[in-house]
């Protein structure tokens, strides 16, 4: 495994802009898969929605990309984040693939099915840990951030949206306080609450395999699709987008029973408005018809009517929020 210290001036600028807050580091249970070899980028290029060749391009190559793997019907199979570990085009391409840990085996089989004679090796990375780094609520001195993240393998902005902070990959057991002094280890449930509040889907509950459509899942808003790369598995044109994943909130007191995944969401007049995907506490994410986003909404749960409210994320493009 190639271990490289990545300087992080961007992280220092990001935290200095939020003086009075401390970075919170959340341990994520998602899996990491190494894809390495001369054909690594071109191999993934034909399987994912984004232009993976950017990761091996000369010059200012991005450190990370977001993408989906689709089935032949154009529906999401896996949501992934790709990380570039090689330092230059002179080095052997080495890409880390982040995915939902529950689909690690199936995504390995999916990749190996298309490997054929490609010069590429595919192997899980159990010796690495993945963290989300997001501004917290506690006081902290951003000037204490390191000039380089020596114990880190990779420290990069989350490629999906600025509101999601940074992604950190380190050796298992690494001391987070050495990488980001003054940071605090947070409860992963707070991380999920944060992304639900921002309407960021992640994993198979939010993006059911074979069900979720990439553009309804806001893949374009999250920089996860290239419309110029050419054909790949699942290439699918979609016209007017009438439904999108949106953050939803439930007023307190919350119902005693959990809101079931896939529960139908209705307008007050009883029209079908969409389906609840997943959530935690009073926050969640739902696939909703845009025509009903600003209406009072509800879910029938055990004979009771549970009210909920949808919101348009502030990080969306302005034209999409209209």
Per-residue model confidence as pLDDT tens digits over 156-179 = 999 999 999 999 999 999 888 888
Counted residue by residue, the chain has a size of 322
**Confidence (pLDDT) at 321:** 58
Residue 116 predicted with pLDDT over 70? yes
At 200, is the pLDDT very low, low, confident or very high (cuts 50, 70, 90)?
A: very high
Nearest to 80 by CA among 98, 63, 103: 98
User: Cα(184)–Cα(11) distance, rounded to whole angstroms?
Assistant: 15
At 109, give phi and psi (nearest 5°).
-65, -40
pLDDT at residue number 234: 60
Please, are residues 51 and 84 in contact by the beta-carbon 8 Å criterion?
A: no
pLDDT at 257: 81
| Terminal-residue alpha carbon distance, the chain | 47
| DSSP code for 163 | G
pTM higher than 0.85: yes
What integer is the mean pLDDT of 213-225?
A: 95
Q: Could you report the per-residue pLDDT of 140-153, keeping only the tens digit for each? A: 333 333 434 455 78
pLDDT of 14: 45
- pLDDT value, residue 194: 95
Q: Choose among 248, 246, 237, 247: nearest CA to 214.
A: 237
User: Among positive and negative, which fits the CA dihedral 193, 197, 202, 205?
Assistant: positive
Work out the pLDDT band at 56, boundaries 50, 70, 90: very high
């Amino acid at each position: 495994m190639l271990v490289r210290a990545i300087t992080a001036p961007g992280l220092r600028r990001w935290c200095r802009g939020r003086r009075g807050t401390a970075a919170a580091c959340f341990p994520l249970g998602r899996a990491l898969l190494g894809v390495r070899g001369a054909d690594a980028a071109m191999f993934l290029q034909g399987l994912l929605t984004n232009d993976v060749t950017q990761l091996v391009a000369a010059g200012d190559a991005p450190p990370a990309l977001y993408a989906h793997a689709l089935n032949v019907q154009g529906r999401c199979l896996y949501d992934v984040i790709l990380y570039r570990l090689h330092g230059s085009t002179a080095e052997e391409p080495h890409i880390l693939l982040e995915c939902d840990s529950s689909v690690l085996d199936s995504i390995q089989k999916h990749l190996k099915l298309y490997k054929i004679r490609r010069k590429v090796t595919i192997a899980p990375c159990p010796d690495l840990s993945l963290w989300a780094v997001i501004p917290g609520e506690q006081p902290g001195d951003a000037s204490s951030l390191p000039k380089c993240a020596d114990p880190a393998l990779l420290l990069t902005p989350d490629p999906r949206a600025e509101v999601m902070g940074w992604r950190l990959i380190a050796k298992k057991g690494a001391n987070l306080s050495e990488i980001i002094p003054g940071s605090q280890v947070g409860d992963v449930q707070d991380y999920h609450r944060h992304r639900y509040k921002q309407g960021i889907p992640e994993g198979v509950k939010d993006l059911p395999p074979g069900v979720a459509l990439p553009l309804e899942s806001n893949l374009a808003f999250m920089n996860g699709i290239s419309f110029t790369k050419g054909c790949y598995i699942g290439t699918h044109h979609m016209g007017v987008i009438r439904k999108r994943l949106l953050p939803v909130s439930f007023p307190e007191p919350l119902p005693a029973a959990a809101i079931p995944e896939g529960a139908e969401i209705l307008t007050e007049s009883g029209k079908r408005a969409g389906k609840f995907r997943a959530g935690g506490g009073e926050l969640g994410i739902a696939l909703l018809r845009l025509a009903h986003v600003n209406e009072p909404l509800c879910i029938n749960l055990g004979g009771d009517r549970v009210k909920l409210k949808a919101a348009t994320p502030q990080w969306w493009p302005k034209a999409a929020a209209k």
